[in-house]
Chains A and B, each alone.
Chain A
Amino acid sequence: MKETRDSVRDIWGQRTPYLGEWPQRVDEVTVEEPEHWVQSCCVLCSNGCAKDIGVRDGKIVGVRGRAVDRVNKGRLGPKGLHGWNANNSPDRLTRPLIRHNGKLEETSWDEAMDALVRHSKELIDRTKGLGIGIYSTGQLFLEEYYTLAVVGKAGIGTPHMDGNTRLCTATAGQALMETFGSDGQPGSYTDLDTTEAVFNIGHNMAEQQTVLWTRILDRRAGPNPPRIVDIDPRKTFSAKEADIDLVPREGTNLAVMNGILNLIIQAGHIDTDYINKHTVGFEQLKATVSKWTPERVEQVADIAQDRLRQAAEILGNARSLVSTVLQGVYQSNQATATACQVNNMHLIRGLIGKPGSGVYQMNGQPTAQNTRETGCDGAMPGFRNWHNIEHIKDLARLWNVEVDEIPHWSPPTHAMQIFRYAETGSIKLLWIIATNPAVSLPDLDRIRKLLRNEKLFVVVQDAFMTETTELADLVLPAALWGEKTGCFTNVDRTCHVSHKAIDPPGEAKSDLDIFLDYARRMEFKDKDGAPLIKWNDPEGAFEAWKECSKGRPCDYSGMSYAKLSSGSGIQWPCNEEHPDGAEHIYTDGVFNTDPGYCETWGHDLETGAAVAEGVYRASDPQGRAWLKAGDYQPPHEEPDEDYPLWLTTGRTVYHFHTRTKTARSKELNEAAPDAWVEIHPKDAEKYGISDGDMVEVASRRGRAYAPAKVGEIIKQGHIFMPFHYGYWDHPGRLRAANELTMTIWDPVSKQPSFKYSAVRIRKSEPGEVPEAMGEAPRARHELMP
């Protein structure tokens, strides 16, 4: 193996200090000398690191970062350098599987699709499509999402379309909509090159977007380093690098943000002119936060008053600021209200739409941005407003269908509600695509029961057998990244193309081909009797998407495969006005809040109640942004006598999600082979737990067992478990963090709250640890031929 650096041992690699420009540094790992290189981009986090795939003898033999790209300038992280090994795994699914007499057996594509089509047609007949749910992902390509969106909304006619992006990024999109009128990140990664301060809240960037973190480390190593403020209940790598790190009690993010904004407003670190010209609601915001004195914040959130003041000093005085937000906010109590406070902080300081300043409401997944754009995840395509009939008519014209075909009587059904309908029986066909809910949803015991129900026809489309395929009635083998062509977009709106480098194994097909095949067999037609889907390859889908996005905020109309293949990724909006993409949006302080243009009329941030169209129109924002604020409410479950500790969950740098891919890379798997429980030394002492002991963690939902890691990394009164560890490679121990978590979600974004559960902990007895799932998942080669 040739590698330019050991990214497992040294996650961020050598420093290349920022000196006027972020230098290039090409990272590369190959196991053999490639015959040729194919342009691509990484799909193992949302950073969007461009890389070339090395190919030899029809196999992927390595990767190399693209020096020319604006996002990474050649750098790759440990997952980017090693995750590709999963493509070559002998465990790959190569044939469809269908359940006969309780067992999954190999079958032909014709038989598999017949079953899917039969069930679909029957349900469309009986329930006009309302009996069908589609639960997809943040890992497909843009062309696949757009095709699926049209299939779902205009073909099947179901409102039940969402993805696992609900679990990771729904709050990002929602907060942007509530404040700015539509989704769309107001910021670019290049802002990090000049910014005076960085604010990370609930975002362990050092482990989550390692290459973006590298950009910050290189600034810190150069002249005029930015100051860093970090908020996290754990002493992560990100927190350790910060100048001020606040370590709040679980569930109190909004109290902390309200406290920070209160101090900033009191100190007068606001741009009154900008507030008056470009925002609505300042007096209400001021009144809401005025109650949150440092004393009160200390009492509720357990943050020392002087620490809060120091944080507010940095954030209030910086002349430019980049703020990043992720799961510590999105998967926790009052997610949307907290995320909006970050937006508000930038607005009242006038730090939006200018170089060096930006808000990154982040995604965790590599192509999650695209589900938000194409309407696969609970938005409407092109950031359109489901509640604005003109927008629906727009789509009806574009797709040449009757307006009423497109569901618009309610917002698209959110993921937890889709699963609830599946549980109670009004959804009878659940099509799960490129995701593993049997490990990643909360309260796994409930999810397993629900998926096992014989009355529910479960279709799972994936590249490997997983804990979820074990419960499927039909399994469709899918191609992975590198085996298909398509585009995807990262957090700072940069779109990259990934070209097909090798063929998928066996009879596995790209998700796009599966959707196109489905649409043909279902005979989906437009108003004139022509096929509803008018394209039959990725580039065709991309061109169709361009038309859909034209004139909307996420405008791709100026992009093309040719342009994307000629160097760096390109940001949207990319159109006549910005032929090479735009670094910043809202540069003139005019936001997307106009009633005819906006993506939503907005919601009550504390209850989630929708604002009525009439009320919104009467408010007449005239292009100004909304300073929406909520007051603190305690979390839905808090520690008590029976369950005295907080459980929070999160990730490790070496794994992606449920490790379907990353555990099939030797380097990554060896770096982090098993789950663990982080516990503070004082709590460990109290419960008689030593480092390395197998412990039982129990909640009202279930139990999980993992070895203890005693240390001050986690706040006292809290424990941490990574959420990646399921059972496909280790059925012998009940260990998934989501055995413990709650079925509850943010009232506005509907994102589940993984970050707080009340638990108890004890050292387990030898021999007591139960097996998982009752039945071990089987590797592909053990299945019936």
Chain B
Amino acid sequence: MHIADHVGQLVQSEKSLAAALESVAAAHKDEPDVRELCKLFAKWSRAHVEALKPVQERYGEEVVEQLSARFVGPRKGAYGLLQDLADLIALAQQTRLKWMLLNLAGMGLRDKEIEEACATLGGETGRQLNWLETRIEDGATQTLVAAN
């Protein structure tokens, strides 16, 4: 059984995502939508970490140091924002995958609490990802073609 490991990775992924979101919100505060949505999403991710504590208590707590998706920013300017959003997308995708896998484990374990958490909280991760993808697509052409 590798539940403890996996949940540890999920928690670490959420923590990295939250920290990255907070960093982007501060660094790009003059893009109001980025500032407000990243602040909101960071709150969601921090709440996810709290919500996973009971699962960790049940299956064991493993602390994981480093995952592959990483935030290398914050960077400056329009192109910097594009790259920062790309990093956030990678972190959010990584997080969402871990929720999906946890759900599969939860189904096998017949653990209703895990399944419920994956539906609600994993669903929120999906919504974070949808917004990040929308936002990067909205601004990409202008940045890549016209920005200095």
A interface residues, Cβ below 8 angstroms from B: 127-128, 130-131, 159, 409-411, 413, 416-417, 420-421, 424-427, 604, 606-612, 633, 636, 742-745, 747
Query: Complex: how many Å from CA A743 to CA B33?
Result: 10
- A604 and B139 CA atoms in complex are apart in Å by 19
Find out whether the CB atom of B145 lies under 8 angstroms from the CB atom of A609: no
B138 nearest CB neighbor, chain A only? A410
A652 to chain B minimum Cβ distance, whole angstroms, is 29
- Assuming A409-B141, A745-B32, is B146 touching A608 (CB within 8 A)? no
Contact B78 A424 (CB under 8 A): yes
Shortest distance in angstroms between A415's beta carbon and chain B's nearest beta carbon?
13
* Known contacts A745-B32, A745-B33; A607 and B131 CB within 8 A of each other: yes
Of B32, B130, B133, B141, the residue contacting A744 (CB under 8 A) is B32
B127-141 contact mask (Cβ, 8 Å, vs A): 1 or 0 = 100110110011111
Q: Is B148 an interface residue, CB under 8 A from the partner?
A: yes
Are B141 and A604 closer than 8 Å at their CB atoms? no
Give the total of B residues in contact with A, Cβ under 8 Å: 25
B13 → chain A closest CB, angstroms: 20
In the bound complex, how far is the Cα of B141 from the Cα of A473, in angstroms? 28
CA A426 to CA B145, docked complex, whole Å? 9
Is B37 part of the binding interface, using a Cβ–Cβ cutoff of 8 Å? Answer: yes
Q: Which residues of B contact A416 (CB under 8 A)?
A: 32
Complex interface: chain A residues within 8 A of B134 (CB):
608-610
Please give, as numbers and ranges, the residues of chain A lying within 8 Å of B141 by CB-CB distance: 130, 159, 409-410
Closest chain-B Cβ to A405's Cβ sits at a distance in Å of 14
B116 at the interface (CB under 8 A from A): no
Residues of B within 8 A of A426 (CB): 78, 142-143, 146-148
CB-based nearest A residue for B147: A426
CA of A425 to CA of B79, assembled, Å: 13
Q: A130-B141, A410-B137, A747-B36 are in contact. List 7 more A-B contacts (CB 8 A).
A: A130-B142, A131-B146, A409-B137, A424-B77, A607-B40, A610-B134, A747-B37
B131 and A608 within 8 A (CB)? yes
B31 interface contact, C-beta 8 A: yes
Name 12 A/B residue pairs within 8 A (Cβ), A-sorted. Answer: A127-B146, A409-B141, A410-B139, A416-B32, A417-B138, A420-B31, A424-B78, A608-B134, A609-B131, A610-B134, A747-B33, A747-B36
CB contacts (< 8 Å) of B127 on chain A: these are: 604, 606-607, 609
Q: When chains A and B are docked, how far (Å) is the Cα of A606 from the Cα of B36?
A: 12
Report the separation of the CA atoms of residues A416 and B134 in the bound assembly, to the nearest whole angstrom.
17
Contact A130 B146 (CB under 8 A): yes
* Known A-B contacts A130-B142, A410-B141, A426-B146; A604 and B130 likewise in contact (beta carbons under 8 Å): yes
Interfacial chain A residues near B142, Cβ < 8 Å: 130, 159, 413, 421, 426
Beta-carbon contact of A607 and B138 below 8 Å = no
Chain A residues near B30: list those with CB within 8 A: 420
Whether the Cβ atoms of A607 and B130 lie closer than 8 Å is yes
**Whole-angstrom distance between the Cβ of B29 and the nearest chain A Cβ:** 11
What chain B residues lie within 8 Å of A417 (beta carbons)? 138
CB distance from A47 to the nearest CB of B (A): 33
Q: Are A411 and B130 in contact (CB under 8 A)?
A: no
Residues of A within 8 A of B147 (CB): 424-426
Q: Is B138's CB under 8 angstroms from A411's CB? A: yes
The answer to whether A609 and B130 have CB atoms under 8 Å apart is: yes
Q: In whole angstroms, how far apart are the Cα atoms of A749 and B142 in the complex?
A: 20
Residue of B nearest to A428 (CB): B146
CA distance A15 to B57 in the complex (A): 73
Task: Give the residues in chain A near B133, CB-CB below 8 Å.
Answer: 609
What 1/0 mask marks residues of chain B from 30 to 68 whose CB sits below 8 Å from any chain A CB?
111100110010000000000000000000000000000
Q: How long is the Cα–Cα vector from A413 to B140 in the complex, in angstroms? A: 12
Report the 3 A-B pairs with minimum CB-CB distance, sorted nearest first.
A609-B130, A609-B131, A130-B146
Q: For residue B39, which residue of chain A has the nearest CB?
A: A636
Q: Give the docked Cα–Cα distance between A629 and B137 (Å).
A: 25
Cβ distance B48 to chain A, nearest Cβ, rounded Å: 16
Q: Least Cβ distance of B18 to chain A in Å?
A: 16
- Known contacts A410-B137, A609-B127; decide if A127 and B36 are in contact (CB<8 Å): no
Residues of B with C-beta under 8 A to A424 = 77-78, 147
**In the complex, A633→B140 CA distance in Å?**
29
Q: How far is the CB of A64 from chain B (nearest CB, A)?
A: 47
Say whether B37 contacts A607, CB under 8 Å. yes
**Nearest CB of chain A from residue B144's CB, rounded to whole Å:** 10
Q: Which of B90-148 contact A (CB under 8 A)?
A: 127, 130-131, 133-134, 137-143, 145-148
Bound CA span A611–B126, Å: 12
CB distance from A433 to the nearest CB of B (A): 21
* Distance between A326 CB and nearest chain B CB, rounded to angstroms: 23
